[in-house]
Amino acid sequence: MNPLHLRLERPEDLGGIRKVHELAFGRREEADLVDRMRENGGRMVSVVAELKGRLVGHVLFSEVQIHPQDKAEWTAWGLAPMAVVPDHSRQGIGSALARRGLQELQDQPHALVFVLGDPSYYRRFGFLSAHQLGYGDEYEAPKGAFQVFELRPKALKELPAGLVKFRPEFADAVS
């Protein structure tokens, strides 16, 4: 039995990562988003899931900016996109990727992670409603879909809430 192997991406993974997103979403937009973000630089953490030598999943974390009213802006993480190829979905690979990614972020700067996604899915990792905690999102997400995870104890109490802005590449992907 060849177990699932989770690791940080390597340069030779780029084509496989693109394929994972194209297969998972059935279109190119998410794969193009990952490529554009990589090309434009910036701090990112990228984790892949490999099974029997084949990439079957990917998650990307990139920096987001928080703009509080009357206070200096500050930086956190954004989780997106995350994908698992259809023939391996519903086998815990997405959950394993999310957990590994959050674990990798423990050694990185920034205290919070934001995501736009299914609340029932992300709640299992400890994500909370960001809107209820005073954070706004630029995409007018449905109630409960905009969520936050605390990487450092008390970060939600110590850092000022505000409007969370994802990287500009996301605007092209959602329009």
Tell me: the pLDDT tens digits for 42-94? Answer: 899 999 999 999 999 999 999 999 999 989 999 999 999 999 999 999 899 99
Residue 116 clears pLDDT 60, i.e. is over it? yes
pLDDT tens profile 134-143:
999 998 888 8
pLDDT at position 2 is: 60
Q: Where are the beta strands (DSSP E) in the chain?
A: 5-8, 44-51, 54-67, 74-84, 112-116, 128-129, 136-137, 146-150, 163-165
Structure tokens at 29: 């937009």
b vs e for 65-99, b when ≥16 Cβ sit within 10 Å of the residue's Cβ? ebeeeeeeebebbbbbbbbbbeebeeeebbebbbb
Q: Which domains does the chain have, with CATH numbers?
A: 5-174 (3.40.630.30)
Average pLDDT, the chain: 94
pLDDT at position 44 is: 95
Integer-rounded Cα radius of gyration of the chain: 16
173 pLDDT tier (thresholds 50, 70, 90): low
Q: How far apart are CA 167 and CA 41, in angstroms?
A: 11
171 pLDDT tier (thresholds 50, 70, 90): confident
Q: How far apart are CA 116 and CA 79, in angstroms?
A: 8
Q: How far apart are CA 91 and CA 81, in angstroms?
A: 18
Q: What is the percent of the chain with per-residue pLDDT over 90, rounded to a whole number?
A: 87
174 pLDDT tier (thresholds 50, 70, 90): low
Residue 1 clears pLDDT 70, i.e. is over it? no
Q: How far apart are CA 122 and CA 87, in angstroms?
A: 22
Q: At what angle do helices 14-25 and 29-40 cross, to 10 degrees?
A: 150
Q: How far apart are CA 58 and CA 21, in angstroms?
A: 8
Q: Please give the average per-residue pLDDT across 89-105, as a whole number.
A: 95
Whole-prediction pTM: 0.94
